[in-house]
Amino acid sequence: MAKNKLNKNWLHDHINDPYVKLAQKEGYRARAAYKLKEIDESEKLIKSGQVIVDLGCTPGSWGQYVRRKLAGKDGGGINGTIIGLDMLPMEPIADMHFILGDFREARILRQLDTILAGRKCDLVLSDMAPNLSGIPTADAARMEHLIDLAIEFSQFHMKPGGALVVKCFKDMGFSQIVEHFRAEFKVVKQIKPKASRDKSSEIFLVGKGLKNPTDKNTALEEESPLDI
């Protein structure tokens, strides 16, 4: 009974959520688009001509927002490159490259490299979150792991002066995650968008300027030295 009441309360709140209504009106697949919109308007992250990668992009509302920011005034095509990666399928978004699979796998990274064609990203976005077990220590470890992966991805694929945006939760190892960000980025900001629900501990971290960018070719040589 309590679970049914909880589900009904959530459904009522969801249906009456102003951002849900706005997303339906403006054609976004999820209300999450407005979280990225607030972050972007605050930090001026998305600019014409950029290469932007969206990790964990499904269902695609962040990709939709980025596409609209990069779209030409005449509505034809975009000035820039958008690449989305996810282990879950996604309905296509115009002008957005989508790669289905785990970005830790060599096969997926080869597909990414083909699209990048030697370029580095200006911006990496991650709205990824773990499947929750209800065990606080386990969930915190899973959240930290996802953010570690996003940071590592950025070190390999992002320009030294680029930016990374990740989703965190204040009750999931947040202080350790912030310390890790401060160790890896020159500028770190915490942002709680108005579009995040008041009851949620959700918060976003923005890291600008890599302290330790990694040259992928050098790293590969170090991992796999040639036999001479």
Burial (CB count within 10 angstroms: exposed 0-12, middle 13-18, buried 19+), residue 183? exposed
Cβ neighbours, 10 Å, residue 44: 8
86 is in an annotated binding site: yes
127 is in an annotated binding site: yes
Those residues whose C-beta lies under 8 Å from the C-beta of residue 202, and which sit 6 or more positions away, are: 167, 168, 169, 170, 192, 196
Q: Is 194 a catalytic residue?
A: no
10 is in an annotated binding site: no
102 is in an annotated binding site: yes
Host H or E run for residue 199:
none
69, 73, 167, 216: which is the annotated catalytic residue? Answer: 167
Q: Residue 125: name the closest of 90, 85, 183, 74 by CA.
A: 85
Query: Among all chains, which residue has been given the structure tokens 């792991």?
Result: 145
Give me the half-sphere count of Cα atoms (radius 13 Å) on the Cβ side of residue 78.
25
113 is in an annotated binding site: no
Burial (CB count within 10 angstroms: exposed 0-12, middle 13-18, buried 19+), residue 24? exposed
Give me the half-sphere count of Cα atoms (radius 13 Å) on the Cβ side of residue 89.
1
Give me the active site residues, please. 167
Specify binding-site residues for S-adenosyl-L-methionine.
Answer: 60, 62, 86, 102, 127
